[in-house]
Amino acid sequence: MATKHEQILDHIETLAVGEKISVRRIAKDLQVSEGTAYRAIKEAETNRLVSTIERVGTIRIERKKKENIERLTYAEIVNIVDGQVLGGRAGLHKSLNKFVIGAMQLEDMMRYTEAGNLLIVGNRYKAHEYALRAGAAVLVTGGFEASDGVKKLADEFELPIISTSYDTFTVATMINRAIYDQLIKKEILLIEDILIPLEETDHLNLKEPIRRYHELNEETTHGGFPVVDQSNRLVGIITSRDVIGHPPTELIEKVMTKDPITVSMQTSVAAAGHRMIWEGIDLLPVADDSGKLKGVISRQDVLKAIQTAQRQPQQGETIDDIIKSQLHQQTSDKLLLEFRVTPQMTNAYGSISHGAYTMILTEAASAILKTKNRKDSVLENLTIYFLKPVQLDVLVYVKPTILDISRKSAKVEVEVSLENEIVGKAMLTFQLLDR
């Protein structure tokens, strides 16, 4: 039987896109406490089922799938620009496909404004009306209002008209940044992207005998299986090590490993992979907030996903990407890298920041491991044991040296120098992944 939390989430999924949701109403309709309703609504927001807007409330939105082009909803625009909704609230769940800056003559502006667009403009009332009639929403900048007629039109067409105190240039910059951030988020692989779903997951019940483990092991050749109770909640995991020496009639609950390590659908693949390698786990169960089994991920699938992601072109650049792009190989015969300290790498005092310095050290060590055909590695430990300030605009040389390498681990020393003076040294230990 589903818990109250799960019932609320199921109920939210059945609501029409655009419908308003409140804690009090959910609590009353489903006869649950307001605290339970609040927690479920927060999870629905994490799962991208609802969006909460200040002064408007929480509305049901369409769950967005990962696409080549990342789109924002009008509800998200309201939150980005700290906006106030003047009309057309029923259309807040809709996605926009383009935004248009209204800095031209009215006729020219309308040539560029189409259905599904967002017109960003000041107090040009005719432009507000024309945009709504063309099927576009309107973002009024400078803290200006809209006429009562335009507000009625927005309600009629279910197209939001939003007011913000920011100027047009600032608003365009904020929206561009939000889209850019979403592109970076989109490239981050999550467990939900590689999950082996429950219907394809072999699992056992804690009340079944060990004999059933042996049957499933023979059928699938898998060594481990998640164990669930009657309500499909994850209660353990069972492997060949657990069943050795036990009779086939003994119950699985007597020998299974209880409270197994789990991940959620929103865990990043990189974090899950690091944990699997660190703990020596080949199979990791995936559970929701209420503990129900959603599927599994295998170590092989995680490594394959990470390797595939590394080969994909990136649409958004993180700070790490910017720093790595500054690192160049100085000679062809031996690995000596160089970089120039740019403004993005510095702290408030004009010296290279600890974050940028750590990134350079890690990338240099990874680069030398790649020369030994060890392309996939996870940093386990980093010790910086000598560091002098490195100023803006100077050219720095980085020399990595492998001190020890085995099948499963490697130790690398990295020396950083400036004008023939050593300014930093570090020792890095890596776990090497199976190729």
For residues 44 and 6, the answer to whether their CB atoms sit within 8 Å is no
pLDDT at 37: 87
Q: pLDDT tens-digit profile of 286-312?
A: 998 888 899 888 877 777 776 665 554
Confidence at 417, pLDDT banded by 50, 70, 90: very high
What's the confidence (pLDDT) of residue 8? 86
Mean pLDDT over all residues of the chain?
A: 84
Question: Residue 310: what pLDDT?
Answer: 57
β-pair type (98-101, 117-121): parallel
Reported as a single tens digit per residue, the pLDDT across 108-127 is 888 888 898 999 998 888 99
297, with CB counted inside 10 A (0-12, 13-18, 19+), is buried
Please answer whether residues 171 and 141 qualify as being in contact, where contact means their C-beta atoms are separated by less than 8 angstroms. yes
Higher pLDDT, 48 or 204: 204
pLDDT, tens only, 329-377:
766 557 889 988 888 888 888 888 888 899 899 989 988 988 887 767 8
Q: How many CB atoms lie within 10 A of CB 46?
A: 12
pLDDT over 90 at 411, yes or no: yes
Mean pLDDT of the 413-428 span:
92
Which residues in 301-339 are b (16+ Cβ under 10 Å) and which e?
bbbebbeeeeeeeeebeeeeeebbebbeeeeeeebbbeb
> What 3-state DSSP class applies to 253?
helix
pLDDT interval class at 404 (50, 70, 90): very high
User: Which segments of 335-418 are extended strands (E)?
Assistant: 337-340, 377-387, 395-405, 409-418
The pLDDT of residue 71 is: 65
Helix/strand number for the chain, H first, E second: 16, 23
Q: Reply yes or no on whether the pLDDT at 103 is more than 70.
A: yes
Tell which wins on pLDDT, 106 or 435.
Answer: 106
d(CA 418, CA 400): 15
Percent of the chain with pLDDT over 70: 89
Model confidence at 67: pLDDT above 80: no
- pTM over 0.95? The answer is no
273 versus 425: which is more confidently predicted?
Answer: 425
Alpha carbon separation from 418 to 82, 153, 309 (Å, rounded): 47, 66, 35
Residue 69: per-residue pLDDT: 41
Find the mean pLDDT for residues 46-55.
Answer: 75
Least confident of 20-24, 79-83, 182-186, 301-305: 182-186
- Using CA atoms of 91, 96, 100, 105 in order, give the dihedral in degrees to the nearest 10: -40
